[in-house]
Structure formats: C-alpha cells, structure tokens
Amino acid sequence: MAKIRIIPRLDIKGPNLVKGIHLEGLRVVGKPEIFARHYYEQGADELFFIDVVASLYERNSLDDIISNTAKEIFIPLTVGGGLRTLDDIRKVLRAGADKVSINTAALKNPNFISEAALKFGSSTIVVAIEAIKQPNGKYFAYTDNAREFTGVEVFEWAQKVVELGAGEICITSVDNEGTGIGFDTELIQGVSNLVNVPVIAHGGAGKKEDVLNLVNSVDVNAVAIASMFHYDYLNNGYNHDHIACEEGNLEFLSKKRKVNAFSVSSITDLKEYLKINNISIREINN
C-alpha cells in the first residue's frame, strides 16, 4: 500500500482562515499563517490553500500568505482559487507554491488543463472537483465554491481531466463537507476506479475512524481535512486573540466557542492512530 498523505486544507477569505458547512456559511477561525505553522510542526505531509472567493472576484489574493508560509515551512504547498491563466499559475508558483489547484477555469476551458500541464508539468496540476449528488443518484460538478451548477457529470469529467494532463485530482463531496458525517465512499471510489493518477479525498471527516474506514475501503492516495484539525487546534492551544482582520463572521472565534459535532484530532494523533491500525503513513521529523 502507498503511504497515505495527510493534508490540512486551509480555506482563505481575505486575510482570514475560514470554515463552513457545504462550503457555505463561512466563519472566521483564525490566522492562516499560524495554523499552517502548527500543522507543519504536527507532521502534515502537505498543505492545501484555497482562496474561497477568488473565482467570485476573479483573482487569487494568496501571494503574501503563500510567500510568508513558504519561507519557513518546507513541505509541498498547493494553492487554488481564481487561477484562470498561465500567468496566474506562474505567479503563485513564484510566490512559493509547489502545485496549483484549478476548477472553474478548467470546466470553462478544458484545454487550459493541457496548456498548464505542458507549461508547468502534470505533477504541478491538481484538478479540484466539487461534487454534489443529485436526486437521481448522479454526481455533477460545481464551480465557484459549489455556487454554480455546470451540468458536467463527475465521473466523466474525472476521466477527461486525466486525459488532458492533470497529475492529481482532489474530489470534494460538497454534501458531506464540514458536516463530520464521514466521507462519501461511493463518490471517491467511483473516481478512483476510473483514473490512474493520485486521488485526494476531501469532505466529511469528523473523527479518526472516518479516515481509517476510508483508506481501508477505498483506493485513495491522500485525505484533505479541515474541520477536524482546525477545531482541535482551537480547542487545544490556539490563541483566540490572533484574528487576521476584524471582518467576516467573527462570533465563533471571539466567543471562544467549542465544536462538539466533531471528535477532533490533531495530525499527530491521527497519524499514530492510522499507524497502529496498519496504515502506511509518511513519518516526518520537522
């Protein structure tokens, strides 16, 4: 079995780290650079940064955050949100990203995947797929942080993006994202069965057992997790005075609330749990 990568996902709105449910109802949870440093020290294999309003405003504004993070964190960084041109990709790579995640631009112009892969290498190009299950049981892809329906069937799209040169797929179950109810294994397995590139599963992790059940039942290469790690840090050590900017939904952070819907876990604890359950993980000494 390949070593499973554990990837904290950091959704960014302006200067703040945010978290929602079904990619909506975003609440400010802290300062992204501080969370990134904590996750690095905890043994994260990679970090996944997404500007969640970039497609809405047609720009990615993470350059400063990525540049500052890359100076002191030496694991791969993937950056997404609002990347529409080769120049956009070049800019975030120069800022310190190792890979880029594209979604909206790829669905609007699938040839963009081929152009980007040819210019920067397939291993640099991650295609993000935001999937919502329809009443008829089919999964369709959405864009703009699941705001826009595309009419594109997910499994067909997954095969196409690989044919066009994508080196990796991050599949998000929007239905499960932020809920803590576990992964949509039907969705993830469906994608994994059809492609020959690494698949990152995202959306739904609420406890360590969810991750173990996923990797024991589905052929995935990595898991991207947000809530379970964010709320663990907020409950256990984060300085709640670290608010990047006095804007957005600050009630949760300012009132120092705790979340009980998740059996929260640190990266260290999750990796140890997987290890004792015979899951091959990457062991990093930072």
Q: Which residues are catalytic?
A: 11, 130
Stated as kind and residue range, the H or E segment containing 132 is: strand 125-133
Q: Which two tokens stand for residue 30?
A: 């802290």
193/162 Cα distance (integer angstroms): 13
Pick from 177, 224, 220: nearest CA to 195: 220
250 burial (CB, 10 Å; 0-12 / 13-18 / 19+) is: middle
* Rg value, the chain, Cα: 17
Q: Which two tokens stand for residue 40?
A: 């690095």
36 burial (CB, 10 Å; 0-12 / 13-18 / 19+) is: buried
Residue 147: what are its φ and ψ, rounded to 5°? -85, -30
